[in-house]
Amino acid sequence: MEPTAERKEDATAMEERLELEQQMYRQMDASSGAASAGQTEPEPSAEAVNTPEVSDVPENTGTPEAAGAAENYQAPLIRILLTDNSKSGYYQESVTVSSSSAIHLEGSDLTIPAGTSETITNGDGRFMDGKIVLTPEDPSAGITVSSLQKAQGPPVYEGSLEIYLTDQGIYLVNEVNLESYLKYVVPSEMPASYAAEALKAQAVCARTYACRQIQDASLEDYHAHVDDSVSFQVYNNIARQEATDQAVDDTAGQIMTCGGEPITAYFFSTSCGYTSTNEVWSGGSSEEYLKSVYLGSDDREDVQTEEVFASFIQQKDESDLESSDGWYRWSVTLPAEALNQRIEKYQIGTIQSFQVLKRSSGGAVSSLQVTGSQGSTTLDNEYAIRELLSVKGIAVTKNDGSVTEDMYLLPSAYFICSAVYNGSSLTGFSFLGGGYGHGVGMSQNGAAHLAEQGYGWQDILKYFYENIQLETAQA
């Protein structure tokens, strides 16, 4: 189906978010080659449901008890570890702050006057027990951190800012209530021009994911629940927008649960026509709230088999929701020299072949055998596969014929490949694939198309997840 003019115009916003993701991977490669940052670790599976019934989604709205729960909802606080788009890691050499309001330094009589820019370094005498806590006198003014680079320019943070002093440097944590946090997450994760119901679905996914992270406390060593990058959810890269504010307000407190617990609500940019479960990372059983979805209207095929998947990916199924989107199909040729550099650490010689050993229920390569002149190795999750097949500095051709070279990971693990020869000499491998991202949970562009077709946000969530209930988050 053809996207609306508004969505076409705002395609750059989604590209910006994708570029931020790729930028993080480039930084990881340059610094330490760290593992799967940005690749939210997976979950479940199930049978595809192409025309969900909203009545199948148990929710706590529409009843006196539910109304009372929503009315009495008090948003929990969330703590966000802040990063700089231009740097890798969490540590900063200095922090420069300002506000249109006076900024109080907690635990002292000191203030930073309104309109004054102040730089704090690791030698600052105002640290108390290794911490400085900043709070604006006027909460609505927020605190600008001009030392951080974001797509919007210098970001402004609501709530309080905490600056921690360590031997490695200083790092920043922003504490704010969950609903305010979401008003900076949703426009950073999905273009504000998308249909209202898609934005609401994104808001519920983002709120659910945040609640799960608050519960898991994976960054407690940094006094935080999440960071502001694609490792968790992008926060305050784009300023608040009216449409996304409304989506957050219209779904206030609503989260998806399974078995009484918040689910890990994975989402990604664009599908190839199918989604998968967390099997793409774990290789084993899936979380019961995840399922593999076919986003077309034809009969679903068994894309776990090589022959069927190859036939599917080599054509554009016009019945697929995202068949007109930029990353629905892509192609790239990786030179043998580049691949030889990538496999050098495995000590298997020069590249000879790739063999897909296993595909997920949605067709993603989840196990890949790499054979060299002196042996072979097997990679068993989609992130490791996409990292090995890095397209860094190599032209990738998109669905519309446009070309981009500013990427790091292979766009997705939904691909087929074939050897390229010059005479009898192996010169590289050609990859034809589809989709952008890990392909688990909700496709954001798929959600946008469903909203354009009249789906409500509950319908959209049911389309991509199963065995879920909609409940009000607990403080």
Q: What is the pLDDT of residues 90-125, one digit of tens each?
A: 999 999 999 999 999 998 888 999 999 999 999 999
Backbone angles phi, psi at 404, to 5 degrees: -130, 145
pLDDT at 25: 43
pLDDT at 60: 44
Q: Count CB-CB contacts under 10 A for residue 152.
A: 15
Mean pLDDT of 288-307: 94
pLDDT at 68: 47
pLDDT tops 50 at residue 400? yes
pLDDT at 317: 84
Using pLDDT thresholds of 50, 70 and 90, give the confidence band for residue 349. very high
pLDDT digit string, tens, across residues 216-235: 998 999 999 999 998 899 99
Lowest mean pLDDT among 68-82, 216-230, 280-294, 422-436: 68-82
d(CA 149, CA 117): 16
pLDDT digit string, tens, across residues 8-55: 445 444 554 555 554 444 333 333 333 222 333 332 222 222 333 333
Comparison of pLDDT for 56 and 412, the residue scoring more = 412
Q: What is the DSSP secondary-structure string of 250-288? A: HTTTEEEEETTEE----EESB-SSB-B-THHHHSSPPPT
Structure tokens at 367: 């196990």
d(CA 366, CA 384): 9
Mean pLDDT of 445-464: 97
Using pLDDT thresholds of 50, 70 and 90, give the confidence band for residue 278. very high
pLDDT tops 90 at residue 301? yes
pLDDT at 285: 76
User: Do 44 and 288 meet the contact criterion of CB atoms below 8 Å apart?
Assistant: yes
Using pLDDT thresholds of 50, 70 and 90, give the confidence band for residue 182. very high
Comparison of pLDDT for 259 and 19, the residue scoring more = 259
Tokens 């190859």 label which residue?
A: 310
The H-or-E segment that residue 442 falls in is strand 442-443
pLDDT at 21: 53
pLDDT tops 50 at residue 260? yes
Comparison of pLDDT for 45 and 289, the residue scoring more = 289
Using pLDDT thresholds of 50, 70 and 90, give the confidence band for residue 248. very high
User: Do 303 and 292 meet the contact criterion of CB atoms below 8 Å apart?
Assistant: no
Lowest mean pLDDT among 4-13, 268-277, 282-291: 4-13
Structure tokens at 280: 């793409």
> Does residue 175 come out as left (phi exceeding 0), alpha (psi in the -120 to 50 range) or beta?
beta
pLDDT at 23: 44
Q: Count CB-CB contacts under 10 A for residue 68.
A: 12
